[in-house]
Amino acid sequence: MIQFDYKSSELFLNKKSYKLSSVIGEDNFYFGLFELPHGTLRQAKFISNLPRNYYLNDDLFVSILERESLMNKQIIEASFAVQSPSFTIIPDFLAKEMPDSEISREISAVGYDNRYILTGSSMDRWQSVFYYLEPATLVQQLAAIYTESRISHFNSTLIKRGKSMKGPFLMLHIYDQTLQTVLMDDDQFLQSNDYRFQSSDDVLYYALLNLKNHGLDPGETVVYYTGMVKDDGPLAGLLCKHIRNLELLDNKSLASYSNVFLGKQKSYFFSLECLYHADHQW
């Protein structure tokens, strides 16, 4: 597993303002601090092996923020993305006819749970609605801590990132032991999924399955991979054997990083940058 904790020594020693971007996984917490107004990444840390659904425990979640100095008044904006399989995308004409209870059951087999809020975001561009289950206690905690905070679902953040890319393409985002996929064909959104995997073979299987579902040829379609995966590692090597047009997706601009990130593989921070730049509009 890839672990990291990078921090600029001058963080919080000056009068700078920062934006916090964080991905909240089921048992991990991943954050970055970007210096405003230019958006230079100054700190990034990945914390794993947390209790499952730790963010539902008010005291535990706040203790993590306190320990990592993420309740500092110099943080004036905060964006959080929940990473989970608890989401669905429904066409507008169906969403208008479906009661919330039915949509909740579509997302999760357990149906409605008062620990979560059913949240919908209109994907006007594709005449659909992105629904996910938002942790109620998390919403309350963040509103109390930060002057300006936003919560979204991580897959919606990836879709927003993909809408400006040329297709057809498949995006593979690897995050700990999870895989998020976004499949698009130019301006046409095709599908997005969240998977749990145990091996590189699992990632290859899900990638080929996504392409097969829409009749796309792995020998022709561009497949981008990014996240916590090494470009010279075994996973990239396996994908390269079966996918002809495989490309690493990251931010090539060194201006986006403070000196502490020199020499680091920039794809590790792709999700934090997606969240930082997300305009929260479809």
**How do residues 139-168 score in pLDDT, each as one tens digit?**
999 999 998 999 999 999 999 998 888 889
Q: Determine what percent of the chain is predicted with pLDDT higher than 90.
A: 70
Q: Which long-range contacts (CB under 8 A, 24 or more apart) does 108-111 make?
A: 108/133
- Residue 177 pLDDT > 80: yes
The answer to whether 179 touches 194, Cβ cutoff 8 Å, is yes
| Phi, psi at 176, each rounded to 5° | 60, -120
Alpha-carbon distance of 78 to 94, in angstroms, equals: 33
- Residue 258 pLDDT > 60: yes
| Among 1, 75, 84, residue whose Cα is nearest residue 43 | 75
Q: Which pLDDT belongs to residue 186?
A: 83
Read off the pLDDT of each residue in 176-190 and give the average, rounded to a whole number. 92
pLDDT range class, residue 87, cuts 50, 70, 90? very high
Q: What angle do CA 108, 110, 115 make, to 5 degrees?
A: 90
In the chain, at which residue ranges do the beta strands (DSSP E only) sit?
A: 5-7, 17-24, 29-36, 40-47, 75-82, 87-91, 116-123, 128-135, 149-153, 169-175, 178-185, 188-196, 222-227, 246-248
Alpha-carbon distance of 64 to 86, in angstroms, equals: 24
Alpha-carbon distance of 19 to 142, in angstroms, equals: 14
36: β partners: 17
Read off the pLDDT of each residue in 62-74 and give the average, rounded to a whole number. 95
Q: Which pLDDT belongs to residue 278?
A: 80
Residue ranges per structural domain of the chain:
165-248
- Residue 17 pLDDT > 90: yes
pLDDT range class, residue 205, cuts 50, 70, 90? very high
The answer to whether 133 touches 120, Cβ cutoff 8 Å, is no
- Residue 64 pLDDT > 70: yes
- Residue 111 pLDDT > 60: no
One-letter amino acid for residue 150 of the chain: R
Alpha-carbon distance of 46 to 23, in angstroms, equals: 9
Read off the pLDDT of each residue in 190-198 and give the average, rounded to a whole number. 95
- Name the packing angle between helices 58-67 and 136-145 (round to 10°): 40
Under DSSP, the state recorded for 85 is S
Read off the pLDDT of each residue in 244-250 and give the average, rounded to a whole number. 91
- Residue 1 pLDDT > 80: no
Q: Which pLDDT belongs to residue 167?
A: 80
Q: Which pLDDT belongs to residue 37?
A: 92
**How do residues 20-44 score in pLDDT, each as one tens digit?**
999 999 999 999 999 999 999 999 9
Q: Which pLDDT belongs to residue 232?
A: 85
Read off the pLDDT of each residue in 181-188 and give the average, rounded to a whole number. 91
- Name the packing angle between helices 234-242 and 200-213 (round to 10°): 30
CA distances from 56 to 53, 60, 127, 177 (A): 6, 8, 32, 21
Mean pLDDT for the chain overall? 91
Read off the pLDDT of each residue in 53-78 and give the average, rounded to a whole number. 94
pTM: 0.92
- Residue 113 pLDDT > 80: no
If you classify domain 165-248 with CATH, what class do you get? alpha beta
